[in-house]
Structure 1
Amino acid sequence: MLQRDFTLIDVLDRADTLFADRAVVTARPDGSRHRYTYGDAADRIARLAGALDDLGVGSDARVGTLARNHYRHFELYFAPACSGRSLHMGNVRLPETDLVETIRDAGDEVLFVDPAFLDRVEAVADDLDTVERYVVLAETVPETTLDPVVAYEDLLAAGSPDYDWPALAEDRECGLCYTTGTTGRPKGVTYTHRALALHTMMNGHVDTYAIGARDTVCPVVPMFHVNAWGFPYAAAFAGADLVLPGPHTDPGPLAALLAEEGVTVAAGVPTVWRRLAAYLDETPAADIDPVERLVVGGASVPPSLVRSYDDAHDVTVQQGWGMTETSPLGLLTPLDPSPGDDAAPRTTDGRPVPGISARVVDEDGIRVARDGEAMGELHVRGLWVTEGYASRTRDVESPLTDDGWLRTGDVATWDADGYVDVVDRTDDLINSGGEWISSIELEDELMAHGDVAEAAVVPVADETWGERPLAVVVPRGDDLPETDALDAHLRASFPSWWLPDRYVVRESIPLTTTGKFDKRALRERFGDADARADDSTAGDA
């Protein structure tokens, strides 16, 4: 067979050669929309690659972005990587210390920054000793203390649309993303051309997202988060129209964008889709009629949310599981379950997708029974799973087992049909008197209660039982759910010893930088008796 390397250049070439007239739409901050095509994008990507050469950026350097989901960020997904460099997708929502550490640890030579984030960069610029130049993602440079600095459009205007793409080895690094730091300091995960190209191809598989040229794809998940789950690459490779929401991820503007642009597939964390569902319930005039399926990842999806979209909007909710370390596609519920399957598998995290293998093991590394009940740690390995963490400034422990599987830190069950159900993170599983309680299962059932909009459950210290569950609840509307009513609701599904010892009512639950419930913050707030005693504004239900 003819052997050749498979790289992101192939993804770009396919979009430009076969789908040059397909649309890329961006919602601008002022509410207007920028429109162009993959052909236009390919022209500008070539100009950007030449501009990086002209700036003297090394052929194997890393460049960073601090940007939202828009067409200029899309161009940066290709130009550095296809010219041999590597793109560090910087997370602007990180705390200041972590933001500085990730940029320095990556060794970014150039930093591309949205105008909205200039103040954050200005505040830490003195500590960014690897950054040699800043590029503002705009037509002109606004007033700023950053130096040297240039406008993105000025860079492209000086470039040429003719660029001789180098022959790249498929095992060459093309991207870098840092974990969010929810379980410690952020850790860098590098991606190779081969890994992302294969991941891109798999996103179109009938048993994954089945993305094709008939689709219009909208990644609501931030483009700084694990390649926006690979959706920008997948849309370009398949020839699907691509819709980028910019800063407009609140329910009202998002619903309008999905409807007006004819989006068929959208991807985001459960928080986005819970809030959109509530908005649609409260706003009869709003609709998302074109949407056929919502891809949900990053956290558990309550069965009530799946049913809500099924019944009210005829939209399929497709749940998946992945990590920064898995690029991220790992598990996914199939769109077309096996004969005899009902909707139940859609409330699990799905099966390992083609290209990924999984196992669930006990503390001794022995595989647990595939009965849907026995719990163990989920391990994965596959064609786009990391071999370890990259760092220029510190030693980071390998996440791999001795026999080459990635330890995920997730506690899971799996059944005879291969469906895996992640029941908790190891840090969030509650050990009450030697028995395990799943915080995720409690959260999902609480959010099925009509008076509960959101709920997060965390373990808190207990003198008698070691740990007990505490639930932080956000009410739906002005009605505060009563403790007895919540207990009665949970007793229908769980034994009494699973029920939270305490409910704390809040107007909102803190979120991580990627939109998940920030359980680390909740554990720090409520995890021990002193913290709970100091919480004078707890507002028990």
Structure 2
Amino acid sequence: MLESDFTLTDVLDRADSLFADREIVSARPDGSRHRYTYGDAADRIARLAGALDDLGVSSDARVGTLARNHHRHFELYFAPACAGRSLHMGNVRLPAADLAATIRDAGDEVLFVDPAFLERVEAVADDLDTVEQYVVLAESVPETTLDPVVAYEDLLAGQSPTYDWPTLDEERECGLCYTTGTTGRPKGVTYTHRALALHTMMNGHVDTYAIGARDTVCPVVPMFHVNAWGFPYAAAFAGADLVLPGAQTDPEPLADLLAGEGVTVAAGVPTVWRRLAAHLDETPAADLDPVERLVVGGASVPASLIRTYDDAHDVTVQQGWGMTETSPLGLLTPLDPEPGDGTPPRTTEGRPVPGISARVVDDDGERVARDGEAMGELQVRGPWVTDGYASRTREVESPLTDDGWLRTGDVATWNADGYVDVVDRTDDLINSGGEWISSIELEDELMAHAGVAEAAIVPVADETWGERPLAVVVPRDGDDPPGTDALDAHLRESFPSWWLPDRYVVRESIPLTTTGKFDKRALRERFEGTDAGGDDASEGDV
């Protein structure tokens, strides 16, 4: 067989040579939309690579971005990597100290920044000792204290639309993303060309996202979050039209964007789709006519949300699971069941995607029974699973077992058909009198109650049982929240009485992490030192 490295340059070349006329649409902050093609993008990507050379950026440097989902960020997904450098997708939602720490830890030489995020960068610029150049992702540079600084369009002006792309080893680093879990400092995960190219090919598999040239794809998930789950690469490789929402992610403009651009596949965290469903319910004239499926990751999807999109909008919700450490896709519910398999349990995280192996093991490292009941830690391995964390500034413990599997920290069950159900994070399981309670299962069932918009469960101290569940509830109608008796009665239909929260606290909102998940750490800190029976500092009990 011919030996040939498989890199992101191959993904770019395929988009340019086969699908040059397919469209990339970006929603601008003012509501207008920027349009161009993969052919146009390829020309500008070449110009950007040349500009990086002229800036004197090291041949193996890391280039950082702090940007929303738009065409300029798409160009940055390719130019540094295909020129031999690495793209660090910086998370602008991190606290200032963590943001600066990740940029220093990555060693970014150039930082590309959206105008909306300039103040955040200015506030930490004195701590960014590796950054030698700032680029504002705009046509001109607004007033700023950053120095040296140049506008993106000025950077590209005068550059050649062709570039002599180097021949790259597929094991060369091409990307870097930092974990955004609810515990601990962010940790850097690097990606190789081979890993992301194989991940891209897998995204077109019939039993995964099945992305093809007939599709119009919209990653609502931010492009700083794990390669935007691979959709920008998958769309380019398949020749699908790509729609990038920019800042237009609130329910009303998002609904207009999905319908107006004929989006067939959109991806985001459950929070996005819960709020969109509420908007559609309140706005009968709005519709999702072209949308065929919503890909959901980042947190468990309540069965009630799946039913809402099934019944009210004829849209399939496809749930998956992944981590920064897995590039990210590891598990996914297939679009269609295998013959004789019946209906896939879409409330699970699905089966391992092609290329990923999974196991669920107990505390002794032994595989648990595949009966859908026995719980253990989910562990995975595969060609796009990390083998460790990267850091310039500190030592980070390896996430691998002695025999080379990634320890995910997720507690799961799996059944005879291979469907994995993630029941909780290790940190979020509630140990009540030596028995385990799944916070995720309680949350999902609470959100199935007609009066509950969002719900989060956290453990709180209990003198008798060690820990007991406390529920934080956001009601659909703030003036008429469901009472304790109603919520208890609802939960008793699915769970034993000892699982029921000892207390419900009503809030207008639940804090979110930088990637849109419920921030369990913030809630645990909020109720730390209290017990399930009372909290002197808390108001709003039901």
TM-score, length basis structure 2: 0.99
Residue 264 of structure 1, CA deviation: 0.1
Q: Partners in 1 of 2:536 and 2:249 — Cα distance?
A: 32
Question: How far apart are residue 529 of structure 1 and its match?
Answer: 1.6
CA-to-partner distance for each residue in 1:267-323, whole Å, 9 max, x for gaps? Answer: 000000000011101100100110000000000000010011000111000000000
Secondary structure of the equivalent of 2:359? strand
- Give SS of 1:78's match: helix
Aligned mates of 2:112, 2:532 — CA distance in 1: 41
**SS of aligned partner of 2:168:** coil
Partner of 1:518: 519
Shift of 1:534: 5.6
Deviation at 1:526, TM superposition (A): 1.1
Match of residue 282 from structure 1: 282
| Change over 3 Å in CA distance of 1:31–1:535 after alignment to 2 | farther
**Counterpart secondary structure, 1:123:** helix
Cα deviation for residue 244 of structure 1 reads: 0.2
Offset of residue 535 of structure 1? 4.9
Greater alpha carbon shift after TM alignment, 342-351 vs 52-61: 342-351
Alignment-derived partner of residue 492 in structure 1: 493
Q: Which residue of 2 aligns with 1:501?
A: 502
Aligned residues: 541
Matched, 1:263 2:260: no
Take 1:464 and 1:532, find their aligned partners in 2: how far apart are those partners?
Answer: 12
1:198 equivalent to 2:226? Answer no
Deviation at residue 183 of structure 1 after TM alignment:
1.8
Write out per-residue CA displacement over residues 166-185 of structure 1, whole angstroms, 9 at most, x where no aligned residue.
00000000000000142200
Alignment of 1:345-356 (within 5 A): 345-356=345-356
Q: Deviations over 1:461-520 (max 9, x none)?
A: 111001000000000023211000000000000000000000000000000000000001
The answer on 1:292 being equivalent to 2:288 is: no
For residue 444 of structure 1, report the CA deviation from its aligned partner: 0.3
Amino acid at match of 2:10: D
* 1:36-47 correspondence to structure 2 within 5 Å: 36-47=36-47
Q: Contact 1:294/1:316 (CA < 8 Å) preserved in 2? A: yes
Deviations 1:352-377 (A, max 9, x none): 00000000000000000000000000
Are residues 344 and 170 of structure 1, via their aligned partners in 2, closer, same or farther at CA, if it must alter by over 3 Å? closer
How do 1:365-384 and structure 2 match up within 5 A?
Answer: 365-384=365-384
1:94 counterpart = 2:105: no
Alignment partner of 1:171 is 2:171: yes
Aligned to 2:346, what secondary structure does the other structure show?
helix
Structure 1: which 5+ residue stretches go unaligned? none
Quote the Cα distance in structure 1 between the aligned partners of 2:197 and 2:344: 32
Matches within 5 A, 1:9-408: 9-343=9-343, 345-408=345-408
Task: For residue 530 of structure 1, report the CA deviation from its aligned partner.
Answer: 7.6
- 1:325 Cα deviation from its structure 2 partner: 0.1
The one-letter code matched in structure 2 to 1:411 is V
Of residues 477-486 and 267-276 in structure 1, the stretch that sits farther from structure 2 once superposed is 477-486
SS at match of 2:345: helix
Take 1:318 and 1:535, find their aligned partners in 2: how far apart are those partners?
Answer: 42
Rounded to whole Å, the distance in 2 between the matches of 1:236 and 1:466 is 52
Structure-2 change in CA distance of 1:532 and 1:499 (3 Å) = closer
Decide which moves more: 338-347 or 24-33. Answer: 338-347
| CA pair 532-92 structure 1, distance change in 2 beyond 3 A | farther
Asked if the contact 1:175–1:192 (Cα under 8 Å) also holds between the matched residues in 2, the reply is: yes
CA 1:532–1:176: 2 relative to 1, 3 Å: farther
Sequence identity, in percent? 89
Tell me which amino acid in the other structure corresponds to 2:519.
D
Alignment partner, residue 467 of structure 2: 467
C-alpha contact (below 8 Å) 1:91/1:225 kept by paired residues: yes
User: Within 2, Cα distance between the matches of 1:483 and 1:527?
Assistant: 22
Shift of 1:46: 0.0
Could you list the per-position Cα deviations for residues 128-163 of structure 1 after superposition, in whole angstroms to 9, with x for gaps in the alignment? 000001000000000000000000000111211110
Equivalent pair of 2:334/2:344 in contact (CA under 8 Å): no
Contact 2:462 2:531 in 1 (8 A): no
Question: What code does the residue aligned with 2:318 have?
Answer: Q
